[in-house]
C-alpha cells in the first residue's frame, strides 16, 4: 500500500518540477495560507495539481489552478517537513487559486482569490458560481487601469486657443 502513495508523491514532485515559476509561487502561497488557518493543525502536502490555466494579457499574467491537498502525520510546525508520512483516508481538501501578476522582473500580485474546502463542497453550485465570478474578477485586475491610460489619450486634451 505504501508503494502507490510513494509513487503518487513522486509524480506530484515531478509535476511540480515541470511547473512554471508563477504556478509554483501560487502553489506555495496556497499552502502557506492554508497552514495559516487556526483550525489546521496537521501539515498538508499537495497530492495533485489540476486545471492549470496561465494566460498573459497586456495587464499581466493570470494563473488559475486547482490543488488537491493530503494530510500528513506531521504537525504544521514540524521543522523537517520533507519526511512526513501521508495519512490514508484523511482529509483531502481541494483549493482553487486564481492570481493575477504584473509583468515586472519580480512579479507582484495585482489580485488574488483562494478557496479551500472539502472536495465534495466544491461541487456545490453556488460555491462554483462564486468561484468562477471571483476568478473572472481577478483575471480582469489591472485591465481597467490599462483602459484608462491608452497611448496618445491626452494628445488632444487641450484645444488650441481661439
Q: What is the pLDDT of residue 18?
A: 59
Asked whether residue 122 is assigned to any structural domain, the reply reads yes
| Residue 83 in domain | yes
Say what the pLDDT of residue 83 is: 83
Mind listing the pLDDT tens digit for each residue in 60-99?
A: 999 999 999 999 999 988 777 778 899 988 888 999 999 9
Q: Alpha-carbon distance 108 to 128, whole Å?
A: 27
- Mean pLDDT for 48-64 is 92
Give the total number of structural domains in the chain.
1
Q: Measure the N-to-C terminal CA separation of the chain; round to a whole number of Å.
A: 87
Q: State the pLDDT at residue 27.
A: 95
Q: Whole-number mean pLDDT of the chain? A: 78
Beta strands in the chain, from DSSP E residues, in sequence order: 42-57, 60-75, 93-101, 109-118
Question: What pLDDT shows up at residue 128?
Answer: 82
Residue 86 domain-assigned? yes
List the grid coordinates of 107. 512579479
Query: Which pLDDT does position 41 carry in this prediction?
Result: 92
Does some domain include residue 121? yes
Q: Distance between CA atoms of 128 and 133, rounded to whole angstroms?
A: 9
In this prediction, residue 142 has a pLDDT band, given cuts at 50, 70 and 90, of confident
Question: How far apart are alpha carbons 77 and 88 in whole angstroms?
Answer: 21
Can you tell me the distance from the alpha carbon of 145 to that of 100, in angstroms, rounded to the nearest whole number?
A: 14
Summarize the confidence of residues 111-134 as an average pLDDT: 79
CATH number where 23 lies? 3.10.450.10
User: What was the pLDDT predicted at 162?
Assistant: 53
Average pLDDT over residues 8-30: 69
For residues 16 and 46, is the Cβ–Cβ distance under 8 A? yes
Per the structure block, which three cell numbers stand in for 31? 499552502
76: closest CA among 26, 27, 115, 32?
Answer: 32
pLDDT top residue among 93 and 120: 93
In a domain, 41, yes or no: yes
Count of beta carbons in the 10 Å neighbourhood of residue 20: 12
Domain-embedded: residue 162 = no
List Cα–Cα distances, 101 to 2, 106, 109, 114, in angstroms. Answer: 39, 9, 5, 15
The domain containing residue 52 runs over which residues? 2-148
Residue 55 lies in a domain: yes
> What angle (nearest 5°) sits at the alpha carbon of residue 130, between those of residues 95 and 124?
70
pLDDT surpasses 90 at 123? no
Lowest-confidence region among 15-19, 31-35, 151-155: 151-155
Confirm whether 25 is domain-assigned.
yes
Amino acid at each position: 500500500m505504501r508503494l502507490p502513495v510513494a509513487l503518487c508523491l513522486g509524480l506530484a514532485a515531478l509535476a511540480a518540477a515541470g511547473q512554471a515559476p508563477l504556478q509554483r509561487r501560487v502553489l506555495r502561497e496556497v499552502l502557506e495560507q492554508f497552514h495559516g488557518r487556526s483550525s489546521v493543525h496537521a501539515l498538508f502536502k499537495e497530492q495533485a495539481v489540476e486545471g492549470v490555466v496561465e494566460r498573459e494579457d497586456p495587464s499581466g499574467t493570470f494563473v488559475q489552478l486547482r490543488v488537491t491537498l493530503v494530510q500528513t502525520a506531521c504537525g504544521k510546525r514540524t521543522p523537517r517537513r520533507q519526511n512526513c508520512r501521508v495519512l490514508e483516508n484523511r482529509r483531502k481538501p481541494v483549493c482553487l487559486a486564481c492570481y493575477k501578476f504584473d509583468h515586472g522582473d519580480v512579479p507582484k500580485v495585482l489580485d488574488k482569490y483562494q478557496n479551500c474546502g472539502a472536495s465534495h463542497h466544491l461541487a456545490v453550485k453556488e460555491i462554483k458560481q462564486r468561484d468562477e465570478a471571483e476568478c473572472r474578477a481577478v483575471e480582469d485586475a489591472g485591465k481597467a487601469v490599462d483602459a484608462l491610460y491608452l497611448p496618445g489619450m491626452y494628445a488632444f486634451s487641450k484645444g488650441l486657443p481661439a
